[in-house]
Chain A
Amino acid sequence: MSLSFRTLFVLGALLLPRIALAHSPIKGIGDFLNGVLHPVMAPAQLLLIVALGLWYGQNKPNQHKTAILAFLFATITGLFVTTLSPLSDANDIALTLLIGATLFGLITLSGLSAPQSLFMLSGLLSGFLLGLDSAQDDLSGKAKIAFMFGSGVGVYFLLLYAMALSESFSVKSWQTIAVRILSSWISASALMVLALQFSSRT
């Protein structure tokens, strides 16, 4: 087993339990801030958003600007849907997010140019799934609204941070290589967590 593979395995194993704990709030910081931090505390969300942001950032703004607005729209819709009708098994959504993170990581890694429609589709699907995955059934009333609002803000700004970072690393060739390496690690980590998830199910 190579060093890289062992590192990935450890990383994946470390991330795995976080999926179950993904919705555990931090005490004392309030519902809104807990919502903002939610995508950072949920590894599947974090991997997907960072993978998507890195991919968008490697492309020209006119290619992804509309896709990001679509992402925002879809996130709000997802939050809405999950508030009105909570999902029975959020774990399946988390697995879908991991598949998305793997795919987006691979697209960035490959450096292939994607059609405009793919940007749009990725934004819409990812945003909607992230919204759905941000359900917080333990909360109700104003606390729930504050959390969901915070989640929307957190998801959106995390995407922008990842995109800004990637954009800053798109000038020189070594920078794009660095982004590709990071994306490959995201894909590999997501894949590892997926594999561990499936193996734990069987």
Chain B
Amino acid sequence: MTFLRRNISWLLLLMLISILFPDASRADVVKPALIEISVNKQGIVSIEIRASIEALLTGINGRYKNTKDAPNAAEYDRLRQMSSEQLFPEFKQFEKTFLGKIYLEDDQGEKIPLSIEQIKIPERGYTKVPRISLIKLGAKVDLSAQSLRWYYPMSFGDYAVRLRQVDLEKQNFHWSEWQWLRKDAPSEPMSLTEIVARKPLYKTIANYIELGYKHILPKGTDHILFILGLFLFSSAWRPLVWQITMFTIAHTITLGLAMNGIFDLPERIVQPLIALSIVYVGVENVLNKGLKNSRLALVFGFGLLHGLGFASMLADFGMPENAFATALISFNVGVELGQLSILVGAYLLIGLWFGKREWYKTLVINPASIVIALIAFYWFIDRLDLGWF
């Protein structure tokens, strides 16, 4: 009650801000398209593109961290609300443009004609994450072709492409490594006649560390707020180290389990709970009287949830088949480095200056924690997908 009396005025004002400015915390992240090309011995090509048709139709691509940042965000939201039957004719009108902008070419520079064979649009589902549709293309490649290059314009967004290669000696199929393209250029040639040399291990490690790091900084606003919430709990290192350790152990467990297909929860459940965990951390920071085992247990529980969030993001990017464990560990290392960067930054900007001050709790911890809790509370309501915002 004392807390409420002391802080009620600006608590109300901040709530008002959060109500008036709802767009400030939307998180419909634009995801890259995943493209898989299979070529059989007769030269029949099958291409599977997994992408958001809504994003393709509205031109929302990787330039936007969030669909809400794009000028035609309203149109995206309108399409995202459609059922699969309603969206299908919208894409049919766009089909010709789509085919006109992408191409597959062989090593002679010949463009291979492509045709759309199938379009699978899932039902509306949880609208707070992009709906990933499947566009299946067909083509016929000359048997003399040695390699293929794929082009997908930057206006359609970032993408990753891989090709199923044929091992003639062993009569096996092998997937090439994923090629990540973030520029308006065709992919590197993908060989049709030999097993492409595996990417060096250090490159896989570097790629996945970068991926994990970027998932936290700057893309993971919710994780940033959660870590800041843990930091603000106490200016002493011991409680912070305990909390971060519990969080790290927990998210590593669920990340590993989910990526191995052992355990997972739908995003519809995970995302609101992640938001709620941030609300809890913010509120408890204000009410806290010291580190208790119950707080550590809760942080551990929240870590399990956040791990599932990391897993859903990592699943979107795909994992290398022969370096699964390496990629998983590297991603986790990247996440830890991201967390560490936030903690170091917070210590240099906040802890070092104010940590020992008499007014640290009243003037720093309480206002910052309440702002964090309010933003997260808005996310929680938004992610429940009740159609209020």
Contacts and interface: CB of A to CB of B under 8 A. Distances in A.
A160 B364 contact: yes
Nearest to A142: B23
Given A73-B10, A146-B24, A160-B364, A65 B359 contact: yes
B13 A164 contact: no
A142 B64 CA distance: 13
Interface of A: prevailing SS: helix
A69 B363 contact: yes
Contacts of A77: 13
A60 B267 CA distance: 50
Interface in B44-96: 68-69
Counting contact residues on chain A (CB < 8 A from B), the size range is 20 to 34
Interface string B11-32: 0011011000101100000000
A28 B166 CA distance: 45
B362 interface: yes
Secondary structure of the B contact surface, majority rule: helix
Contacts of B353: 160-161, 164
A111 B69 CA distance: 50
B2 interface: no
B108 interface: no
A192 interface: no
B354 interface: yes
Contact of A142 (B9, B68, B359, B367): B68
Nearest to B23: A142
Classify chain B's interface size.
20 to 34
Contact of B24 (A76, A142, A156, A164): A142
A45 B17 CA distance: 23
A145 to B, nearest CB: 5
A80 B357 CA distance: 30
Interface in B355-376: 357-359, 362-364, 367
Interface in B317-357: 349, 353-354, 357
Contacts of B363: 65, 68-69, 160
A17 interface: no
A72 interface: yes
B171 to A, nearest CB: 53
A133 interface: no
Contacts of B10: 69, 72-73, 76
Given A73-B9, A76-B10, A161-B353, A65 B362 contact: yes
Contacts of A167: 357
B228 to A, nearest CB: 12
Contacts of B357: 61, 164, 167
A141 interface: yes
A149 interface: yes
Interface string B144-183: 0000000000000000000000000000000000000000
Contacts of B354: 160, 164
Nearest to B26: A142
B367 A72 contact: yes
A167 B356 CA distance: 12
Given A61-B358, A164-B353, A76 B23 contact: no
B222 to A, nearest CB: 15
A65 B361 CA distance: 11
Interface of B: 9-10, 13-14, 16-17, 21, 23-24, 68-69, 349, 353-354, 357-359, 362-364, 367
Interface of A: 61, 65, 68-69, 72-73, 76-77, 80, 141-142, 145-146, 149, 156-157, 160-161, 164, 167
> Considering the complex of A and B, which 6 residue pairs feature the smallest CB-CB distances, nearest first?
A73-B10, A145-B21, A145-B24, A61-B359, A61-B358, A164-B353
10 contacts: A76-B10, A80-B13, A142-B23, A145-B21, A146-B24, A157-B349, A160-B353, A161-B353, A164-B353, A164-B354
Given A80-B13, A167-B357, 13 more contacts: A68-B359, A68-B363, A69-B363, A69-B367, A72-B367, A73-B9, A73-B10, A80-B16, A141-B23, A145-B21, A160-B354, A161-B353, A164-B353
